Chain A
Amino acid sequence: MLLEIDGVEKSFGTGDGVLPVLRGVSLGLEAGRSLALTGESGSGKSTLLHLAAGLDQPDSGAIRVQGADIAGLGDAARAALRRDTIGLVFQQFNLIPSLDVGANLAFQARMAGRHDPARIADLAARLGLSDFLRRYPEQLSGGQQQRVAIGRTLAARPALVLADEPTGNLDEATGDAVLDLMLALVAQQGAGLLLVTHSPRLAARCDAQAHLRAGRVA
């Protein structure tokens, strides 16, 4: 099992007391498969994704990536996990504005020590970015920026791709195209994909679906 989420609970303190967000969620994802996580705003999907990425820690329950529980890991170990095993795609793209497209594409692969120029070139071509390599993020459209973000993630060959509303900032046509590309590439690499989306239409394109409601898998 590539990713195993087992009875995870997570609450946040607010001004009005403790707000439970996840109330015992269990999920599993095999390598080479894709899983869509859907739910209303506030249902806890993004929180779950952040936990899976090691960006945050669960209150209880286990999260195993490639069989290893990441819940107890320290900051440095979780940073290493994100660098080496996981690839994140954000709704906000989160490109580095001061680097050009080429450098952004290569960035994470270089961080992970898996830089391969041929692969970057190939990815850039398949993502339709070959002509924009010298441009800066602010000079690209939203769809182009998201394609750069996906390219940046896949270039590093992560075993597990976590995507948080990757098409949320894109119009429908562009979003569909970007998602198709991502699914194809993930499948090709044999990686697992956890896709967070509020759109049932997009979720349907994944191998499996899980629906969160009030902090539980419905």
Chain B
Amino acid sequence: MNARTLAPALSLALGLAGAAHAQGFADMGADAEGFAMPERGTEIAFPRDHGAHPEYRIEWWYLTANLEDADGTEYGIQWTLFRAANEPGEAEGWASPQVWIGHAGLTTPDNHHAAERMARGGIGQAGVTAAPFAAWIDDWHMTSAAPDDADALDALELAANAADFGFTLSVEADGPLVFHGDEGYSVKSDSGVASYYYSQPHYRAEGVLRLPEGDVAVEGSAWLDREWSSQPLEGAQSGWDWFSLHLGDGVRLMAAQVREGPETDFVAGTWIEDGAATPLDRDDLSLAPLETAQVAGRDVPVRWRIELPARGVDITTEPVNPDSWMDLFIPYWEGPIRVSGSHSGRGFMELTGYE
């Protein structure tokens, strides 16, 4: 649909709160009536928590992959399923308060493709089941390919299909799930707004991209984020900058900041080494834009400096394609990046809330 109908739900899901949506967003931040709230100390259990949590307002299954073809050309893909609830809980048929939104992106050094699907809950057009694990909307899907004795997310098959592009991808993990914050309880603001957040950052990936020029076989690495919450951002927060980085030697870094104002950005991150996760905060980690580019008529910071002195990290990120603009119902920047400096590697960057 072309309407801004979903603005509140989506802006919540994407962490956007631009001027146009500030009011609706602020309302939600202030009041989460009826929805369950994340609580510190809650154990995340599987396979149950791979599935949907309809009692929470928003949730996502978010996979990004850095890929390369035989010639060494770099690609990035994104496969995401968002869930947003108008009311907590589930109901039969069209009366379901759940709304599902799928986003797919495919970045090449020269082009960026994006597509979107929407569906109502309750009728089977979209949904997530925990066991066997499957997430789908229309013909897009992310389905477990893991053996019965392994975690369902250890191996996944994904597909997305749009008029001008598509892809199929198989991913296989060579490391464990990683829990952010306090065992998966991830704080998003100084006042304590939080979500449940875990990731599988250890995927090797291979697949086929359908591009206008033809099919391309690719392989590389991938990262899955799982997060659900009812109140992820504070009213004054205007958006976020998020990085998932593969730094080599099995080291991964999640770094994010939620923008509140020049002085008060909320910073969080996770250092992942040998499967062990260490939470980071603004005392450890700093993120600073180095250069902005004109993207879709806005100034978007596309080059960044990320410092983590305690680990000897001082790196610069560079986009594979500065025009990785997801020109969807709620637009944002999401695409593959290269890392140089104290460490080199690759990763993904998401920039939201740039008006």
A and B touch in the complex (CB under 8 A): no
Residues of chain A having any CB pair with chain B under 8 Å: none
